[in-house]
């Protein structure tokens, strides 16, 4: 939206798996839930492998539709030097792997509480892998 305000905001909600936070802590980073700007911290869901259009029901009413990968930015380094580099990697072919969570839009609002269940609704086939938004 910053580049073109006529485009829809595909970055309303940011989700990160607690496993990333724990791995960053193990690597010496001072992070915890919410520190990297996420609105929802999950456990046990491979967020990065979900296809675009997946709908997550969080709690009784809230629904978030996944729009893409978070593109980590240098604001993470404002929290702690090296954090941006720690949330990216390269695969064997040299392709960039973004590990800083996923972005989504609110489809249905509702109260979200700690330990709420998250139900996953996959979109129809063919499914589109996540790309940065």
CATH of the domain at 67: 2.40.33.20
How far is C-alpha 6 from the chain's CA centre? Answer: 23
Please tell me whether residue 26 adopts helix, strand or coil conformation: helix
Classify residue 107: in a domain, yes or no: yes
Classify residue 5: in a domain, yes or no: no
- Domain interval for residue 90: 13-121
Classify residue 21: in a domain, yes or no: yes
The count of structural domains within the chain is 1
How many alpha carbons fall within 13 Å on the CB side of residue 72?
21
Tens of pLDDT along the chain (133 residues) come to 566 788 888 889 999 999 999 999 999 999 999 999 899 999 999 999 999 999 999 999 999 999 999 988 888 888 899 999 999 999 999 999 999 999 999 999 999 999 999 999 999 999 999 999 9
pTM for the model stands at 0.90
Classify residue 6: in a domain, yes or no: no
């Amino acid at each position: 939206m910053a580049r073109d305000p006529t485009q829809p905001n595909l970055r309303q909600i940011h989700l990160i798996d607690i496993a990333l936070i724990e791995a960053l802590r193990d690597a010496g980073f001072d992070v915890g839930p919410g520190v990297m700007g996420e609105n929802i911290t999950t456990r046990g869901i491979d967020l990065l492998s979900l296809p675009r259009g997946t709908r997550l029901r969080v709690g009784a009413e809230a629904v978030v539709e996944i729009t893409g990968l978070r593109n980590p930015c240098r604001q993470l380094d404002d929290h702690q030097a090296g954090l941006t580099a720690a949330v990216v990697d390269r695969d064997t072919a040299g392709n960039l792997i973004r590990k800083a969570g996923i972005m989504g839009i609110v489809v249905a609002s509702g109260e979200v509480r700690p330990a709420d269940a998250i139900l996953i609704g996959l979109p129809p086939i063919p499914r589109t892998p996540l790309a940065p938004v």
